[in-house]
Amino acid sequence: MYIDRIADSIEHTPATIYGVSNQYDATSSALYTNQIISTDPPYYDNIGYADLSDFFYVWLRRSLREVYRDLLSTMLTPKAEELIASPYRHGGDKKKAAEFFETGLGQAIQRWREQGHPDYPTTIFYAFKQAETTKSGTASTGWETFLTGVIDAGFTITATWPMRTESPGRSIAQGTNALASSVVLACVPRAEDASLATRREFITALKQELAEALRLLQSGNIAPVDLAQAAIGPGMAIFSRYAKVVESDGSPMTVRTALTLINQVLDEVLAEQEGEFDSDTRWAVAWFEQFGMEEGPFGVAETLSKAKNTSVQGLVEAGVVASQGGKVKLLGREELPDDWDPATDARLTEWEAVQHLIRALDRQGETGAADLLRKLGSDYGERARDLAYRLFSICERKGWSGEALAYNSLVIAWPEISKLSRSQESGDRRQNGKEQVEGAKFSGPGRLAEGACLCAGRIPFDGRVSKA
């Protein structure tokens, strides 16, 4: 399986120029001045590269020593310079091992900043251990230390992008809590005249800029599960463009605090997007946040409905909730009517749209969901997708992983669903056009204009034909 994958990658790599590889110590070498740097550094003691390499090295050395004299000159692979946090190299001291790693990585980052090409960002792939994340999604110690190192080295982080870079099938991932994904950081040297900012100024800038950045990420169809990670990019871009963000007591703001504030503002921005939804949907989101798909008291539902400018009766009529015996409950996807048609729904809500889309995706796959999206129309569909982001973030915070998966899956499948829906739509138009054209042919005096083509796809959308 792995050999096939490697062969596949080689086949699809547009490698037409000659490549060279050299071995240098990233913390001290000065041999890559003005180069474009894209790097995948080690992560603490995750993998003992040099020790592992020895297993193969001894055999390679026997067979290739005459070909690569310099590279294979040592009995074993170099260990002292290796940037890992291996306690056994520090007399069993974990703290010293971590310090060695962090200091060395800091030095390497400093070199990248000094020696990278000024016109191109340096990109750093950083391994990210999911299990280390806290509620805020990102406040892991390793991650913070790394971001601090990058900023202290004089970089401004301009983007962060999560990537599935690790294969779940690789041997280290089996039965262990191995790294699940990486984050790519794009970094440019910070302007020399970067100014200071107060905590308040930083928060104001976050509020002003994150909403637009978030929109952009959503329109790029970022998976909801990756949104919080990706939003760190624009947030950190703001934090790291200042020489320092100063707290009210004069101390510099830590990366941990900055990350917490970024996550808070992200939550606020997502909540603000709710303003775009209809009243029934806004009620459903608030109810969902409190009760999930469980029953809740009628009184609470009624009070909430006043705040959201709707009524429980209206919500029942809209097909959003069931209300019985003093209890109210959101309708589960399995309880939704099979023959639902948005065109005949007198009280259409984004809430229903998203639930029906998920159900269609689940039962009939992308084609079924596309069929529904076509009936909903693209504007309505886009709002349903925004709602999926919002619901995902609620589920994630509450630890409702099954429900979260449903919203994440919808967004991930979205590009294919909307592509299918558009092609179904143009198929419909063509079909319509054809019927009208045929209608025109048989209805007597009308006839096709000279040169008009009857082949599928070439008939004008509205099916109009010129009359001679």
Give the C-alpha distances (Å, rounded to integers) separating 105 from 85, 158, 163, 274, 348. Answer: 11, 20, 21, 42, 55
Radius of gyration of the chain (CA): 29
Give the long-range contacts of residues 49-52, CB within 8 A, separation 24 or more: 49/82, 49/84, 50/76, 50/77, 50/78, 50/79, 50/82, 50/84, 51/79
62 to 81, contacts with ligand SAM by CB under 6 A? 81
The nearest distance, CB 69 to ligand SAM, in angstroms, is: 21
The sign one gets for the Cα dihedral 114, 116, 120, 125 is: negative
Nearest residue (CB) to ligand SAM, 168 versus 220: 168
Q: How far is CA 357 from the centre of its chain?
A: 21
The nearest distance, CB 84 to ligand SAM, in angstroms, is: 6
Binding mask 78-107 for ligand SAM (x = CB under 6 A): ---xxx------------------------
The nearest distance, CB 236 to ligand SAM, in angstroms, is: 22
The nearest distance, CB 111 to ligand SAM, in angstroms, is: 10
Nearest residue (CB) to ligand SAM, 100 versus 288: 100
Q: How far apart are CA 45 and CA 60, in angstroms?
A: 25
267 to 326, contacts with ligand SAM by CB under 6 A? none
| Block residue for tokens 């005249």 | 193
The nearest distance, CB 56 to ligand SAM, in angstroms, is: 13
Residue 366 interacts with ligand SAM (CB under 6 A): yes or no: no
The nearest distance, CB 49 to ligand SAM, in angstroms, is: 4
Closest CA to 323 of 298, 351, 352: 298
Nearest residue (CB) to ligand SAM, 9 versus 251: 9
The tokens of 128 are what? 């990210």
Q: How do beta strands 155-163 and 181-189 pair?
A: antiparallel
Q: Are the beta carbons of 263 and 137 closer than 8 angstroms?
A: yes
The nearest distance, CB 256 to ligand SAM, in angstroms, is: 24
Nearest residue (CB) to ligand SAM, 126 versus 202: 126
Nearest residue (CB) to ligand SAM, 44 versus 155: 44
| Residues facing 414 on adjacent strands | none
Nearest residue (CB) to ligand SAM, 43 versus 239: 43
Nearest residue (CB) to ligand SAM, 161 versus 340: 161
Nearest residue (CB) to ligand SAM, 147 versus 330: 147
Nearest residue (CB) to ligand SAM, 46 versus 367: 46
Q: How far is CA 306 from the centre of its chain?
A: 35
Nearest residue (CB) to ligand SAM, 127 versus 394: 127
Select from 19-27, 276-284, 376-384, 439-447 the region that touches ligand SAM (CB under 6 A): 19-27
Q: Are the beta carbons of 47 and 176 closer than 8 angstroms?
A: no
Q: How far apart are CA 225 and CA 231, in angstroms?
A: 11
Rounded to 5 degrees, φ, ψ at 156 are: -105, 130
20 to 59, contacts with ligand SAM by CB under 6 A? 25-27, 40-42, 49
Closest CA to 311 of 336, 347, 341: 347
Q: How far apart are CA 454 and CA 463, in angstroms?
A: 11
The nearest distance, CB 21 to ligand SAM, in angstroms, is: 11
Total residues at interface with ligand SAM (CB under 6 A): 10
The nearest distance, CB 242 to ligand SAM, in angstroms, is: 31
The nearest distance, CB 41 to ligand SAM, in angstroms, is: 6
Q: Which residues bind ligand SAM (CB under 6 A)?
A: 25-27, 40-42, 49, 81-83
